[in-house]
Copies of this chain bind each other. A is one copy, B any other.
Amino acid sequence: MKIPSLLLVAGAGAMTVAGLCWAAGPTPSDASPIYGVRIPAGYRDWTLVAPAQEAAPLDELRAVVGNRKALKAYRIGARAFPDGTVLVKLAWKHTPSPDFPPASIPGAATTVQVMIKDSRRYAATGGWGFGRFVDGRPVDQAQHETCFACHAARVKDRDYVFTRYAP
């Protein structure tokens, strides 16, 4: 089948538009803007680092899990995490338990947030790449621009990682 040359031109144009969208904001990719971080396969089976609660307005329960490199570094008390470390924070709305009044439990899932250590690729951001996902899709570039600034301002001395291991 012969493809009309007009269609080829239109196709090239669409690719360019998609590229611009990727750089400018929400992206059709499954990778985060700026960092190109994806949700890692199998993370839901990883080992718990620690749970947390975030007060209003977010009002969430959270749990950070890590891959083997992450857990090993936590457990030996490493000063920095090695390349290949991946941390994933799961978050849900903070919801009263219908079964036991003093308890609150996870409601709807809100975000999945990922940190990946690659000291070469992410040399400009402390060695970390960041990804923030809602319903499996990365949020926009503006939100990703806030990740490193906050980590650098608050926990630079812990290799930019907020979460401590809960024994």
Whether the pair B55, A100 counts as a contact (CB closer than 8 A) is: no
In the assembly, how many copies of this chain are there?
2
Complex contacts, A52 vs chain B, CB 8 Å: 51, 61, 97, 103-106
A109 at the interface (CB under 8 A from B): yes
Q: How many residues of A contact B (CB 8 A)?
A: 36
When chains A and B are docked, how far (Å) is the Cα of A70 from the Cα of B106? 18
A58 to B77: give the CA distance in the assembly, Å: 29
Q: Contact between A51 and B51 (Cβ–Cβ < 8 Å)? A: yes
A122 is an interface residue with CB less than 8 A from chain B: no
A106 to chain B: closest residue by CB: B166
Given contacts A63-B63, A109-B167, contact A100 B162 (CB under 8 A): yes
Are B106 and A51 touching (Cβ within 8 A)? Answer: yes
The 8 A CB mask of A7-35 against B (1 = contact, 0 = none) is 00000000000000000000000000000
